[in-house]
Amino acid sequence: MKQLFHFSKPYKIIALALFAAASIFSCGKKEEKHDVDYYEKIKVEGQKEAELTAPPFVPKPVGDRPAMHLVVNMEIKEQEGEMVDGTKYIYWTFGGSVPGSFIRTRVGDEIEFHLKNHPDNKLPHNIDLHAVTGQGGGASSSIVAPGHEKVFNFKVLNPGLYVYHCATAPVGMHIANGMYGLILVEPEGGLPPVDKEFYVMQGDFYTKGSYGEQGVQPFDMNKALKEEPDYVVFNGKVGAIAGDNALTAKVGETVRIYMGNGGPNLLSSFHVIGEIFDKVHIEGGDAINTNVQTTLIPAGGSAIVEFKVDVPGTFILVDHSIFRAFNKGALGMLKVTGEENKKIYSGTTQEGIYLPEGGNIQNMPEGKKEAKSTVAKTLPEQIKSGKAIFGTTCFACHQSEGQGVPNAFPPLAKSDYLNADPNRAIQAVIRGLSGEITVNGKKINSVMPSQNLSDDEIADVLTYVYSSWGNNKTVVTPAMVKAQRK
């Protein structure tokens, strides 16, 4: 190899010494490496009850506190929640949330774990913590019937971010119903401080009904065995960290996300659109990768990602197995406020028309739809259903508030084009739309593909659009759609 620098012997020694010093101190408070025997012998000082938090929040950092006797009180709750607007699901939870309560410890802590099964629950449960060194990760010691409590103890010996989950048979079903969470074991001296910390966990859900089907949807074991989920979501439901529930930060802040994957089946390709991870603790352990675009998180695994936000905007969190994001719910938002920095990101500097695929209307793939006997929906039911359809079919182009994308996709909010003729709007959804149109005084020349939606689905989504964002509240019926199909 070509030598780039030449040193005489005294200077070479000095250079090597400086390099060694730089290596030692370049990571700041990075802990000295120890083995399990060292952590096992750490003496605890005092006792406290662990602070537990529901996602997306995390407990206060451990900092440089000594190892302690830490009491964890965890209650299991089987409860109804909403997967997406109008779609209910019976979740099985640790602490009343999906994912379960975040547990924050440090190496050397002695944990006294109290697992309580609410008396209104129907099933026995237990807990397997991947941070536990012992049979079943605690599962064999913690199986607990409704109305009872189990207590077991363990010492945390390995720093890292670990998954916990229920391990009662059938294990996959308990996990698929939401029984998973994260336990963080900080190193001695704690993790380096950051401005914002968030708790996010991906999971795949399997329901008897298809995506967005209304009412209480039971778990579908056949879909789970085939690994064909209807929903892939962050924090237990569609939109859990989007819209009004979005994560927030300010320009210049450093964000740390404790990211887990409960599974039970799918891997996660975690990515934040418009950001690069400065650091990734690979699989939640000691090894750190830098300048990462997308990190792979196995089912039952985790990662810690950190990045500084340099410009304002809404940054989209996704599983980059991208149909999961835009069609099954694996999408979140980080809203960053602050001053723009045109040197880092300029925004649009030039625009024009470019149609490499031609101006023909594109078609969405069509498949056979089973005929379903439907009961006429009330207006609120139509709007709820339409909102769910909009979130998976229209959101990416027309945006969350119907604002569209300038010069690419027309606005639906206060749209004179839309409000003037509902039959034309129906035709656009059924057959697609291409060529120049004028919306709210601005010309747009783009292509909208036809949508493979049923008469009911088209009626619902258009009724939702007409009922939102200052539009004229037209109610579109399945009969109106059927007439336009002819």
Numbered residues of the known binding site for Cu cation: 125, 130, 165-166, 174, 179, 320
Pairwise CA distance, residues 211 & 230, whole Å: 5
What is the separation of C-alpha 104 from the centre of its chain, rounded to a whole number of angstroms? 20
Pairwise CA distance, residues 92 & 177, whole Å: 5
Indicate the angle between helix axes 478-485 and 455-466, nearest 10 degrees: 120
Token representation of residue 132: 């536990």
Annotated binding-site residue numbers: 125, 130, 165-166, 174, 179, 320
What single-letter DSSP state applies at residue 159?
-
CB atoms within 10 A of CB 334: 25
HSE-CB at 13 with a 13 A cutoff on CA atoms is 2
CB atoms within 10 A of CB 305: 24
Pairwise CA distance, residues 349 & 450, whole Å: 31
Pairwise CA distance, residues 99 & 203, whole Å: 9
What is the separation of C-alpha 177 from the centre of its chain, rounded to a whole number of angstroms? 16
What's the Cα-to-Cα distance from 222 to each of 79, 172, 211, 226, 330, rounded to whole Å? 23, 12, 16, 6, 22
Token representation of residue 131: 């941070």
Query: Residue 25 is which amino acid?
Result: F
Cis preceding-peptide flag for 264 (omega within 30 of 0): yes
